[in-house]
Amino acid sequence: MNEPSWWQTGVIYQIYPRSFMDTNDDGVGDLAGIRARLDYLQWLGVDALWLSPIQPSPMKDFGYDISDYCDVDPLFGRLDDLRDLLDDLHARGMKLVLDFVPNHTSDQHPWFLESRQSRDNSRHDWYLWRDPGPDGGPPNNWLSSFGGSGWAFEPRRGQYFFHAFLEEQPDLNWRNPAVREAMLEQMRFWLELGVDGFRIDVIWHLVKDEQFRDNPINPDFRPQTGDHNRLLTTYSADQPEVHEVIRGFRQLLDQYPQRMMVGEIYLPLERLMSYYGSAGDGVHLPFNFQLIRHPWDAEAIAATIDRYEAALPAGGWPNWVLGNHDNHRLATRVGAQHCRIAAFLLLTLRGTPTLYYGDEIGMQDVPVPAEAVQDPVEGRMPGLGLGRDPERSPMQWDDGPFAGFSRVRPWLPIAADHVQVNVASLRSSPTSLLNLYHQLIAIRRAEPALALGHYRRFATPPQVLGYLREHNERRLLVLLNFSAQAQEVALGMAEGRICLSSLLDRPAQTVAESVTLRAHEGLLLDLTCE
């Protein structure tokens, strides 16, 4: 293969800026706070930071409703603070990836303020406007992902506009060439500033059906998943023309050395793979969420990994994610006892791993009382557990009153377990989960077999996941015990050496013919033939 890019060999670390570190005592994280914690992030070993949106916004959806694409919201600082962060990161050999939200703007964006005024202004068709249906109601049955109809009426135009999310987040009309060109200019602004890439929000939503046909009923709908799942998004997302838009993004990024983009895509595997494009004209990494809502079972996970690997197109680089700002915390989903093998899984599979802030210390969902709820999803679809506040709680830095995140009460509650589960305490404990992440990332960086090597399944008992990572003469074996009992695995060879145990207590131990894994233990073994 050609010389790998940084985004192929590196580890990406997602930061939700509101919740990482507050330096100006307003209870909300800021860019200066991220800069203040760069020593920690460099020690952890991550190669790139992905920041959830920091652009100006009314914060109806906490930054995913942008009112100015080319600046920084005062809540997080100034544009100069972003420049300083970039300079500091680049000086440390690290990269910065920004969230880019092209599907919709805020309803306070100047483009929409003009568009909503009349049917004949210069931006009248920059958004998705439609006349009322025959009954005077919405023009079709499309739903909002945040509940209710996806259409809102604008009296000044006598028309409805479509919003795939909140009413305050009107969708842009990506069939309009002027919109495409304007958005490329917004991207160019950040590329010229020096950012290293973009995570493109809901990229599969960008283009809608030209005829605005009704979406079909979802035959697998379950009420507990939310009314927004009552219909399939056949005509309101994942249209063939979206790949033309992505091609334009890629052509722009390719004008700048070593830039990349990740696409947020919640689609079945076969549709996900189409977003790699062909001949290098798709997104570099279509986000792979195959495991983020997956049953925590060795055999099922092994089958999913095999399907994903088999589906990758020629030249497609894999990636893996176990946590993000829209899903319950990893430790909450899999249980604290499985966090160590989850770390092993994420950091030893083939492809680029993305780590969500706080997962490295085992942060769990934080209960949020009704009076403290911030997320609009919880307000629109209460009682279904779809609110995203619990996984967005402040980073737990130490055992102080506000976990070292702030000197005042934060915007979301602090976890009750922060006295024990925090960076300061766990960093000083040699066998902690945090130190496991630190060592796994260091080994990944030092071992081409982990960063670049081939993936191949290895025969194991039913409750153990095993796979080989091979590069040139190096053969490394990963074994993950998903069970609460010890498991013996035959190695089928004379001898191997344990490089790392998830419990951090078996250094350089030699094993012959077989190895025994303790309950919930992960092992990395060197099987390289002498």
Assigned domain for 154 exists: no
Encode burial over 193-213: b for 16+ CB neighbours within 10 A, e otherwise.
eebbbbbbbbbbbbbbbeeee
CB 112 within 8 A of CB 72: no
Residues 6+ apart with CB under 8 A from 383: none
Rg of the Cα trace of the chain? Answer: 24
Among candidate residues 441, 465, 486, the one where a domain is terminated:
441
Residue range 91-109: average pLDDT? 98
pLDDT of residue 243: 98
**1 has pLDDT over 60:** no
* Residue 423 and residue 482 share a domain: no
- Say if residue 2's pLDDT is above 80: no
Q: Which of 107, 196, 264, 389 is catalytic?
A: 264
Q: Is the pLDDT of residue 529 over 80?
A: no
Whether 220 sits among the annotated catalytic residues: the reply is: no
pLDDT, position 171: 98
Q: Let me know if residue 350 belongs to a domain.
A: yes
Say what the pTM is.
0.97
Instruction: Please determine, for residue 352, whether its predicted confidence score (pLDDT) is greater than 70.
Output: yes
Question: CATH number of the domain that 234 lies in?
Answer: 3.20.20.80
Instruction: Tell whether 496 and 436 lie within a shared domain.
Output: no
Mean pLDDT of 434-440: 98
Assign 355 a pLDDT band (cuts: 50, 70, 90). Answer: very high
In a domain, 75, yes or no: yes
User: Is the same domain home to 417 and 498?
Assistant: no
Pairing of strands 496-501, 510-511: antiparallel
What was the pLDDT predicted at 494?
Answer: 64
Write the DSSP string, 436-473.
HHHHHHHHHHH-HHHHT-EEEE----TTEEEEEEEETT
Split into its structural domains, the chain has a count of 2
Is 227 a member of any domain? yes
Same-domain check for residues 426 and 520: no
User: Which tens digits make up the pLDDT trace of 121-166?
Assistant: 999 999 999 999 999 999 999 999 999 999 999 999 999 999 999 9
Q: Which of 301, 345, 337, 296 is nearest to 321 (CA)?
A: 345
User: Which residues in 267-286 are b (16+ Cβ under 10 Å) and which e?
Assistant: beeeebbbbbbeeebbbbbb
Position 503 scores a pLDDT of 97
Are residues 436 and 457 part of one domain?
Answer: no
pLDDT over 50 (residue 35):
yes
Please state, in angstroms and rounded to a whole number, the distance separating the CA atoms of residues 405 and 23.
8
Q: In the predicted model, what is the mean pLDDT of residues 168-179?
A: 98
Same domain, residue pair 337 and 486: no
In which order are the strands placed within the sheet that holds 464-471? 454-457, 464-471, 474-481, 522-526, 496-501, 510-511
- Write down the pLDDT at residue 530: 47
pLDDT digits (tens, 9 = 90+) for 262-283: 999 999 999 999 999 998 899 9
Same domain, 402 and 491: no
Task: Tell me which residue range forms the domain holding 514.
Answer: 453-526
Q: How do residues 194-215 score in pLDDT, each as one tens digit?
A: 999 999 999 999 999 999 999 9
Average predicted confidence (pLDDT) for the chain: 96
Active site residue 264: yes
**258/373 same-domain check:** yes
Residue 282 lies in a domain: yes
DSSP state of 103: S
Q: Could you tell me which residues are beta bridge partners of residue 171?
A: 104
Is 352 in the same domain as 499? no
The answer on 253 and 298 residing in a single domain is yes
DSSP letter, residue 375: -
Report the CATH number that the domain containing residue 477 is assigned in CATH: 2.60.40.1180
Catalytic residue chosen out of the listed positions 22, 30, 73, 201: 201
Rounded Cα distance between 443 and 60, Å, is 42
Last residue of a domain, one of 389, 411, 441: 441
Per-residue confidence band for 492, with pLDDT thresholds at 50, 70 and 90: confident
What average pLDDT does the segment 360-374 reach? 97
Query: Which DSSP symbol is given to 296?
Result: -
Position 155 in a domain:
no
